[in-house]
Amino acid sequence: MKRIAFLGLGIMGAPMARRLLDHGLHVTVWNRKAARAAPLVDAGARLAESPAQAASNAEAVIAMLADVDASRTVWLGPAGALAAMQRGTLAIDSSTLTVEWMRELGAAAAARGIGFLDAPVTGSKKQAEEGSLNFLVGGAAQDVERARSLFSAMGRGQVHVGPAGSGAMLKLINNFMCGVQVASLAEAIAMAERSGIDVKLAGDILAAGSPGSPLVKMVVPRMVARDYTPNFLVPLMVKDLTYVIDTFRNAGIELADARAARERFQAAADAGHEHQDIASVVEVFRRN
């Protein structure tokens, strides 16, 4: 597949689309705010006026969008991509969305003779720029194979998790654990500061010890330096944890820890950190 449409050019979408361009693919892009497409157009991408226009001549359409409402509009809205796609083409949604919506979209695609994959990613802005994302893919095996070269262009590989919706499920489980870790790290860093312990020393110990997951190692320096350049926006974590809580509840699991973490991130958003990285949640606990 050489003709690719990419829908959504946010923190993750823009570098993912750039990777496709860098691999010599013919990329048409669309974004709600067209100005964000300018660097990609300068690099050789074509700019579409609507998702439908972007998708009309594409062999594969990839979306990276904020939430279910945005995804539904972009795929199925009045100028949506799905109705403009040709039979036999491939639709891929790499956003972090609900399992129910991914299954619904997959059924809508199948009814039109279009392949569908839900393929959210692990990694953030840095990994998207480096091409080291990992795709968690739900869908038919033959469609996963068809998309292999696209995943390789944008990331280090893919894991076929199961049928449609499976990638979304594993991504929500992944982000549940990430959200709880970052919220608890914020509380730990704040406690060290309030106790008079050198915050860099405390951060280094936490990152190097048993709590030091790759995520903790990445976020500790941001919290210590108060560098909240966005890699993963605070409101998106609130959204993801909301999806997580509902998904787990439907399976009979109530998530008290996810609810507590969501409250922390919502408090950060309410305090003016909605355009900053999730590391800014620590500021909810800081006294200065």
Q: Which residues pair with 5 in a beta bridge?
A: 28, 61
Residue 147 in tokens: 């998309």
Tell whether 205 and 101 lie within a shared domain: no
CATH of the domain at 90: 3.40.50.720
Mean pLDDT of 87-106: 98
pLDDT band for position 288 (50/70/90)?
A: low
Q: Domain count for the chain, please give it.
A: 2
* Host domain of residue 249: 170-284
What positions carry a catalytic annotation? 171
Q: How far apart are CA 156 and CA 27, in angstroms?
A: 20
Tell whether 131 and 244 lie within a shared domain: no
Digit-coded pLDDT (tens) for 165-202: 999 999 999 999 999 999 999 999 999 999 999 999 99
Tell whether 179 and 264 lie within a shared domain: yes
Q: Which of 163, 193, 211 is the last residue of a domain?
A: 163
Higher-pLDDT residue of 1 and 220 is: 220
Q: Which of 163, 178, 206 is the last residue of a domain?
A: 163
Tell whether 148 and 30 lie within a shared domain: yes
Spatial CA neighbour of 106 closest among 96, 94, 91, 116: 116
Tell whether 124 and 264 lie within a shared domain: no
pLDDT band for position 287 (50/70/90)?
A: confident
Digit-coded pLDDT (tens) for 29-54: 999 999 999 999 999 999 999 999 99
Mean pLDDT of 69-81: 98
CATH of the domain at 272: 1.10.1040.10
Residue 106 has pLDDT above 90, yes or no: yes
Tell whether 211 and 130 lie within a shared domain: no
Tell whether 95 and 193 lie within a shared domain: no
Mean pLDDT of 157-161: 95
Mean pLDDT of 257-261: 98
* Mean pLDDT (the chain, rounded): 97
Q: Which of 116, 143, 163 is the last residue of a domain?
A: 163
